[in-house]
Amino acid sequence: MSDTNNKEVAPINWVPAIMFSVTGLAALTLVPWYGITYGYTLAALVFYILLTSATELAITAGYHRLWSHNAYEAHWSLRLWYALFGAMALQNTILHWSSGHRVHHRHVDDVELDPYSARRGLWFSHMGWMVRQYKSGVVNFDNVKNLMKDPIVMWQYKYYIPIALGMNIGIPVALGLIFDDLWGMILLAGVLRIVTTHHFTFFINSIAHKWGSQPYTDENTARDNHFFAFLTFGEGYHNYHHIFQTDYRNGIKWWQWDPTKWLIKSCSMLGLAKNLRVVPDFKIQRAKLKMQFKRAQERLAKSKNSDKWSHLLEKEYEEFKVMLAEWTELQSEKYQETRRHLQEKWEKAALHTRYKELEYSLKMQQKRLKLLTAQFTTG
């Protein structure tokens, strides 16, 4: 499809348009005015942070990684927690959210089919797609039939409005009465928290498709952005996510900021989550190497001494293809071993050792390729 902005004129979607306008205006005016005039209690600030974290994690760990991508399985009590605080985030039902997100992944960047295509502009992908009734945003639940088997999902779908109102009015008001700071709680733990979590989520659809690096693929606009990973509870490693969407992690390194990953892992240790899906390291290294080769070839084409380095690059690429072929063969052998009920033998045999050797070889090749590419402009 064309990369140009779609000039489709669509009718206003009044419910989200009014909600965004009212909450946004209140956050820009009433919140600072009240703070300057009366000040906020420590309790209001603490519960603003706690409820922001709870609602955002319900979206990232629940709506997104659990229900949209089936990256793991969760106990009913954890799913109920996600459903309640997900409704509090005011980002629609689990069914609506997951259906639209699956369409986004299937048709990413398509200006006619992707509900929040980045190629239609920053405003459109951030929130413009919600304030008008575009054809690309028409809901079809055919792609979430598996979620309809979850009674908690269907309970939230049926009672979404009373749940959302109860969570967004009841909790701030109750906290305000308990801590004798009614308006402070309503403005911080209510209004500002809603606006904050909205835009933290919207950043993924807009900025994470605009600014950042593409270490794994450039076949779509998704980027890895460390800064926005911090703001979005780990969702900012978006380039990785778009190529390996079923992985329960977005930040795959231990040091990468991904509270959503840590929550899911912690829940698995407590028996609240299981069957966490992880992409094999070899596939990850393979994707990174493919991108490195592509960029090396692009830099080599611009180098004045391309003849000097082309044979070295070609040699590295041939070695890469040999490793890929061997890995494919090992996959086949592993499958055959599993079919013969010899999984224990597989885990202890030379096949497993060779797997690790191949993963290590790919990592070493990445380092060699990085050094080789750096010399294109100096050699």
Summarize pLDDT for 181-231 with one digit per residue, the tens.
999 999 999 999 999 999 999 999 999 999 999 999 999 999 999 999 999
Q: Are 67 and 94 in contact (CB under 8 A)?
A: yes
Q: Are 195 and 48 in contact (CB under 8 A)?
A: no
Distance (Å, whole) CA 293 – CA 138: 40
Q: Is 336 exposed, middle or buried (0-12, 13-18, 19+ CB in 10 A)?
A: exposed
Q: Are 210 and 221 in contact (CB under 8 A)?
A: yes
Which residues are CB-neighbours of 34 under 8 A, at least 6 positions away?
40, 183, 184, 187
Q: What does the mean pLDDT of the chain come to?
A: 87
Amino acid at 103: V
Distance (Å, whole) CA 111 – CA 370: 35
| pLDDT single digits (tens) 262-298 | 999 999 999 999 999 999 887 888 888 788 777 777 7
Distance (Å, whole) CA 223 – CA 214: 5
Q: Strand (E) positions, the chain?
A: 73-74, 273-274
| Helix (H), strand (E) at residue 110 | none
Phi and psi torsions of 27, nearest 5°: -65, -35
Two tokens, residue 353 = 């050792």
Q: 73: helix, coil or strand?
A: strand
Q: Are 77 and 272 in contact (CB under 8 A)?
A: yes
Q: pLDDT: is 335 or 176 the higher one?
A: 176
Q: Is the dihedral of CA 54, 236, 141, 131 positive or negative?
A: positive
pLDDT at 292: 76
For residue 180, is pLDDT > 80? yes
| pLDDT single digits (tens) 303-347 | 656 555 555 556 665 666 666 666 565 555 555 555 555 555 555
Nearest to 69 by CA among 229, 235, 269, 212: 235
Q: Are 205 and 116 in contact (CB under 8 A)?
A: yes
Q: What's the DSSP call for residue 274?
A: E
Q: Are 10 and 134 in contact (CB under 8 A)?
A: yes
- pTM across the whole model: 0.84
Q: Is 65 exposed, middle or buried (0-12, 13-18, 19+ CB in 10 A)?
A: buried
pLDDT at 316: 60
Q: Residues 78, 254, 82, CA angle at the centre, nearest 5°?
A: 15
Query: What would the 3-class secondary structure string for 190-221 be?
Result: HHHHHHHHHHHHHHHHCHHHCCCECCCCCCCC
Two tokens, residue 118 = 């980045």
Nearest to 156 by CA among 82, 213, 227: 82
